[in-house]
Structure 1
Amino acid sequence: MTYMNIIRPRFTEFHDIFVPQAELDFAIPFLDEDIPLYVDPFLLWRSPSLQDKGLHQMILGAFNNIGVLSKSGNQEQAIQQLIAASECDEVGLGTSATKKGTRIGRAKAEEVLSLFERIPYYRDHGFRHFEEVQLFVDGIGKDRISDIACNFIKSFLIDYTAQECQALGVGLKRTVVSNVYNPSSLMFEDVQAEVPIHPETGLPVLFVPKRWLRHVPWINYDTYFRNFCPQDDIAHEGEELTRVRVQIYNRDNYAVVDAYVQARERSLEDCKNDPLFSQIPALWARRKLAAIKKLPTGKDDGADIAYEKLIGQLLPSLLYPQLDFAQEQARTDSGVSIRDLIFYNSRTHPFLQELMTDYGSRQITFEMKNVKAIETKHVDQLNRYLKDNLGNFGVFVTRNPLKKARFSSTVDLWSGQRKAIVALTDADIEQMVEVFDSNQRDPLDVIVKKYVEFRRACP
């Protein structure tokens, strides 16, 4: 199977692993983009797991050893190690659209290493949390912190990834993994390891536990600046208070940074990992439903855009965790702009398995139509789109039930091409919200009911 036919392809779908993200311990990597989350070392530090705490000590020891190298006359070695640690492509975390990042430059590495000399606490004791670097050096942010952490514990990530792949039945390949930190030699080494590889680039892919991931590190510049930074002491009224200016101040006033770090440590119970997907609360779902019902059909005053936005906010939560949301996409058919919601088919429900078996649906398309009535052209457009890994099953999300003639045309499609198209109306969405709110059944059952009704009408 070529993953290029999958919309926003993930590692699991490529390997025919159909397990929802919620049931896996690791964050499922995308094949052509990064996961927009980052490893936060603070989560390892505050973890109840002795393993995580040990890994945090490994990260901290490796980082502080670079400072020792720099102070002991081995600055060139320290610079090269820090540069090597600054990018970890194998884990695929961040915001890169190409899955290929860049390392820091020599000047930036020297600026980081200077902290071990300039700030007495670091000179004498080293870092407690190396994320503190963000408060002193411009250009060192959450992406660098995450990559440095991953590189220093890459040997663990190799073993962890192999273990998860074996549990899922994913084949491994023996290949070279570069820049693996050896805590015995205190050096980065290239090692031979059994790991999964990217289907296009052939490069190693490493998994990261979900419990380590956040959008922003717990210790970060923005919360420091907002809540602890003595802004009036740094800049007088009318003067621009830049990040660099604050960072220079911090280097000469470590006590302020120390107070901030200690405060973050005291509030460790509030530090939680960020989920890859968060369902909206039931109350919000009801509010969005109410807003949908108030919208007129058609495009006047942007009603179509508002409808698509509300449905796009609602459906991913209603269908989670049975269906992982892939993305909202825009496409054009015969000059008409069409917006879809695309979901990964996890096959965890008998109905979802049937969609794969009978219709080849690795992914499921929900086409949003804020129209008074679905017309022949709409059915034709969706029919043309249903192919390849999207399979032969699709859903209209629209305002009213299909008229008899349009419903008959969908039945004819099934008879002639074995394609199934069902429609979710305002009433169906309302029922899904009711089920979601009651937490007694799955909103997916509403779609199952619509499909059963459709199949009963088929010859």
Structure 2
Amino acid sequence: MRFSEFFKVYKSQAFLDFVDIDLETDLAVFIDPVPLKTLNSPWGADIAYYLKHYFSTVLDSIKSGRDSHAQSLLIGLSESNEFHLGFSKGKPRGHAFGQKSASLVWEALTKSKAAKSGLLEDLEDTALLIHGIGPDMISDAICNIIRGPLIKYTQDMCVYYGIPLKPNIPSGLIWDIENKTWKQEYVSLPVAGKYGKVILVPKLVTRHKMNVDAGGFYTHYILPAMAQEHIDGNSSLVHVLKNGSKKVYKTDLREKYGEDKLSIVEQTVIRPNIFKEYKKEKNNKPTPPISSESLSELENQNMPNTQELIEKLKNIPTGKKNATEYEDLIEEILSMLFYPSLCKPSREQNIHSGRKRVDIRYINEAQKGFFRWLQDNYTCQYIFVECKNYGKDVENPEVDQLSGRFGPSRGMVGLLVCRSIKNKERLLERCRDTCKDNRGYIIHLDDDDIIKLLNDYERNRLNHSFPSLERKWSELIN
């Protein structure tokens, strides 16, 4: 029983911004804290701060000898069943820190040379350097720490997709940044009958596995450094090869120094620069989000057929009567095409105290490609979309309407989507005039352009390139 199925949201995973979890079990995907730090939006910055703040508070409590307080902070990570992510079989139960685990983790942290030396700075470091903590526990812990922002995200998604919210639901423990402790509130959440309350997670932040790996760190970073040290010192572990070169085998190093987490910590503490180099490389190369194709496969769903979408688009009549149907389809198509660059769509967004409204607004979270290039060179924290189901050409009022949504704090780039354009050169000139007047950048797309983008997507699924969109941008600014 999928979340979307229970609430009768008849959309496939590729059209949805959140992970369409199975209410009866867990989905084998995880939240990796490293990519969270690369998010561009205020929401992304918020959750990154939550993680940093929480873990710093735990470490400060341990270093100051407030043992019972530190354990109580760790025990707060024990509830996570409502997220439905992880390895659980059957009924979801989570893998976060229960009372026993919290005590063990606290003991490990207090005794860890990594903690005492100051090596531990981030939550993901514990998966590398603390015995008993694995990636699944880190992912569940993250869900709990950012429960507050995820509740807000869930509420926004329920409003967007028309999913009923039930008031006065116990929130579970929420991290209180101001008071550096856990608190509980009563909030509005979707309640899926016998399956209970659900907190949604954006598919943008999910991964197949965590980017950090203790075994990989030891094998590819620590052991090569140790080998070079033995070569420099000409130790008994050095083998001279036939060509005269010297080599130290990793198997010999593992046998001499061990390879469990205690051994990893032992060798890392005396080589902190190696650990910092590893973290820097991981932070600079975060793993990409799970693709819609991979998520659909995990959920036994089919990806939308692009040719069927094209036929559906062609069959929607023009005119006000079918405007909502047209806008819904355009939103589905754009959400599929532009993920993971554009996310968290909101419809009919109020701006200027409600005096102006936007059909659709996306957050620009692009890490590469066209939308990342836009982000690096123009103001486009958000991408605005106006949909016009006209049977005639759009003119100056529609162009002015979209440009009126722009602003330095929101973004200066938008898409004007309409059915057909007889005089394309005239509309292009109107959009160019908007640029020249410093009122923003508008890319106009008609049915033919949408079809071209869908065909591009079919041919370029792996790299999500948008050659036709890039050509339109070039036409606009040249």
- Specify the TM-score bucket, using the shorter chain as the normaliser: 0.5 to 0.7
Structure 2 gap ranges (5+): 228-249, 314-454, 460-478
Cα 1:37–1:276 change in 2 (3 A) is farther
Residues paired across the two proteins, number: 284
Aligned partners of 2:170 and 2:295: how far apart in 1?
A: 39
Of 118, 122, 133 in structure 2, the residue corresponding to residue 121 of structure 1 is: 118
Matched, 1:70 2:62: yes
1:194 CA displacement: 0.4
Partner amino acid for 2:194?
A: E
Matching residue's letter, 2:53: G
CA 1:13 to 1:195, structure 2 compared with 1: closer, same or farther past 3 Å?
Answer: same
Amino acid at match of 2:55: F
Contact 1:35 1:95 in 2 (8 A): yes
Residue 100 to residue 438, structure 1, CA distance change in 2 (3 Å): closer
> Shift of the alpha carbon at 1:113?
4.5
Partner of 1:27: 19
Distance 2:172 2:29 in 1: 23
Structure 1 equivalent of residue 276 of structure 2: 258
Q: Does 1:274 align with 2:290?
A: yes
Are residues 1:176 and 2:170 paired? yes
**Inter-partner Cα distance in structure 1 for 2:209 and 2:42:** 24
Contact 1:279 1:320 in 2 (8 A): no
User: Which residue of structure 1 aligns with residue 438 of structure 2?
Assistant: none
Q: Give the AA of the match of 1:32.
A: E
Partner Cα distance (2:280, 2:82) in 1: 33
Aligned-partner Cα distance in 1 for 2:81–2:312: 34
Structure 2 residue 13 is matched with structure 1 residue 16: no
The aligned counterpart of 2:303 is: 320
Name the Cα RMSD after superposition.
Answer: 3.4
AA at the equivalent of 1:69: S
Change (3 A) 1:89 1:109: farther
CA distance in 1, matches of 2:295, 2:74: 39
Q: SS state of the match for residue 76, structure 1?
A: helix
User: Residue by residue, what CA displacement relative to the aligned partner does 1:299-320 show, whole Å, maximum 9, x if unpaired?
Assistant: xxxxxxxxxxxxx99xx79x52
- What's 1:244 paired with? 261
CA distance 1:259–1:322, shift in 2 (3 Å): same
Alpha-carbon displacement from aligned partner over 1:324-352 (angstroms, at most 9, x marks no partner): xxxxxxxxxxxxxxxxxxxxxx9x969xx
Alignment of 1:368-447 (within 5 A): 439=458
Of 139, 150, 153, 1:160 maps to: 153
Q: What residue is the counterpart of 1:328 in the other structure?
A: none
Post-superposition shift, 1:235?
Answer: 6.8
1:20-42 deviation digits (Å, cap 9, x = unpaired): 11111111111111121111111
User: CA 1:191 to 1:83, structure 2 compared with 1: closer, same or farther past 3 Å?
Assistant: same
Is the Cα contact below 8 Å between 2:218 and 2:264 reproduced in 1?
no
The aligned counterpart of 2:193 is 199
Which amino acid is 1:264 matched to?
K
Deviation of residue 163 (structure 1)?
1.1
- Compute the displacement of 1:116 (Å): 8.1
Counterparts of 1:230 and 1:87, CA distance in 2:
38
Are the aligned partners of 2:50 and 2:146 in contact in 1 as well (CA < 8 Å)?
A: yes
Task: Give the alignment of 1:208-223 within 5 angstroms.
Answer: 208-223=201-216
Amino acid at match of 2:193: P
- Report the CA distance between 1:192 and its aligned residue: 0.5
Q: TM-score, normalised by structure 1?
A: 0.55
Note if contact 1:79-1:110 (Cα within 8 Å) is conserved in structure 2.
no
For residue 83 of structure 1, what is the amino acid of its counterpart? Answer: I
Aligned to 1:338: none
Report SS of the residue matched to 1:107: helix
Identity of paired residues, percent?
A: 22
In structure 1, how many angstroms separate the alpha carbons of the residues matched to 2:145 and 2:37? 15
Structure 1's 272 and 73: CA in aligned 2 closer, same or farther, altered over 3 A? Answer: same
Q: Does 1:37 align with 2:29?
A: yes
Q: C-alpha distance in 1, partners of 2:84/2:126? A: 22
Report the Cα offset of residue 439 of structure 1. Answer: 4.5
Deviations 1:250-289 (A, max 9, x none): 4533333222112223334xx3112253399xxxxxxxxx
1:317-356 correspondence to structure 2 within 5 Å: 319-322=302-305
Q: How far does residue 322 in structure 1 lie from its aligned partner after superposition?
A: 4.7
Match of 1:300 in 2: none
- 1:437/1:69 CA distance change after superposition, 3 Å: closer
Alignment partner for residue 107 of structure 2, among 90, 106, 110?
110
Q: CA deviation at 1:111?
A: 0.8
Alpha-carbon distance in 2 for matches of 1:117, 1:242: 16
**Matched letter for residue 39 of structure 2:** S
Amino acid at match of 2:276: D
Equivalent-residue separation in structure 1 for 2:304 and 2:7 (angstroms)? 20
- Confirm or deny: 8 A CA contact 1:15 1:170 kept in the other structure: yes
Shift of the 71–49 alpha-carbon distance from structure 1 to 2, 3 Å rule, reads: same
CA separation in 2, counterparts of 1:66 and 1:78? 6
The residue number in structure 2 matching 1:101 is 94
Q: Is the 8 A contact 1:45 1:56 kept in 2?
A: yes
Specify whether residues 160 and 111 from structure 1 end up closer, same or farther in structure 2 by C-alpha distance, changes over 3 A only. same
Contact 2:13 2:295 in 1 (8 A): no
CA distance in 2, matches of 1:116, 1:56: 26
TM-score when scaled to structure 2? 0.53
Within the alignment, does 1:186 sit opposite 2:186 as a pair? no
User: Are the equivalent residues in 2 in contact too, given 1:83–1:109 (CA < 8 A)?
Assistant: no
One-letter code aligned to 1:272: P
Higher mean C-alpha deviation, range 179-188 or range 82-91: 82-91
> Structure 1 residues 163 and 140, CA, compared in 2 at 3 Å: closer, same or farther?
same
